[in-house]
Amino acid sequence: MNVSHPERPYAIACDRNRDPILAVLRECLPVKGRVLEIGSGTGQHAAYFSSAFPNLDWLPSDLPQHLAGISLWRQEAGQNCLAPVGLNLLSDQLQLPQADAIVCINTLHIVAWQGTHQLFTAAGRMLSPGQTVYLYGPYRYADRPLEPSNEQFDQWLKARDPASGIRNFEDLSRIAQEQGFSLEADVPMPANNRSLIFRRAS
């Protein structure tokens, strides 16, 4: 429980998924450089992953209203956890801060589909050949039914915001390919989630 910092935002899901995600990140992130985390939410992942990768600068980002909470979690992280920056995937003329990799966890099903387009368009401009975009979350696949728990989650998302919802893997992969990314890995994760690793082609 988040007893010692009652004002600090907390999501139990972050504690549950951080170690499985970390295992995949160890396989795809660069040895050094800067990682841009898009949709940092509470800031728990930024604090945890930056501590796990002391040779990487970890740049959290999210909508402006979330930055104060992220900053509270940053207080327990090392100096390589940078001050969070405001970023809205739905902004016109989206420009991403310079980085050597992108991590985006449980975000694309929350924002409108336009956000996925804009993420890969901006990432295609910013990342160099060989650099990666890591995505985590639930996805629909054309060759299999959506899991019952994810079906319920999708209905909840759409009731909350009709523009949100679990994204189709094939549509997402097509958009990534159009911007010069190829799918390197699709890793099953706990609780019917997936880790998708896209690498910028040369």
Residue 176 placed within a domain: yes
Residue 4 placed within a domain: no
Two tokens, residue 155: 């209905």
Instruction: Output the domain CATH number for residue 142.
Output: 3.40.50.150
Residue 70 placed within a domain: yes
CA–CA dist 90, 86 (Å, integer): 12
What does the pLDDT look like over 53-78, one tens digit per residue?
A: 999 999 999 999 999 999 999 999 99
Residue 2 placed within a domain: no
What helix, strand, coil percent values describe the chain, rounded to 5? Answer: 40, 25, 40
The reported pLDDT for the residue numbered 179 is 97
- Residue 129, C-beta contacts closer than 8 angstroms, at least 6 positions apart: 200, 201, 202
The answer on pLDDT for 1 being more than 50 is no
| Structural domain harbouring 133 | 12-200
pLDDT > 70: what percent of the chain?
A: 97
Residue 142 placed within a domain: yes
The answer on pLDDT for 115 being more than 90 is yes
Residue 68 placed within a domain: yes
H or E stretch at 186: strand 181-189
CA neighbours within 13 Å on the CB side: how many for 90? Answer: 10
Contact (CB, 8 A) for 59 and 36: yes
The answer on pLDDT for 3 being more than 50 is no
Quote the radius of gyration of the chain (alpha carbons, Å). Answer: 16
10 Å Cβ neighbour count for 42? 20
Name the pTM for this structure: 0.96
The reported pLDDT for the residue numbered 133 is 98
Residue 3 placed within a domain: no
Neighbouring-strand partners of residue 86: 62
The reported pLDDT for the residue numbered 191 is 96
Residue 29 placed within a domain: yes
Query: How many domains are contained in the chain?
Result: 1
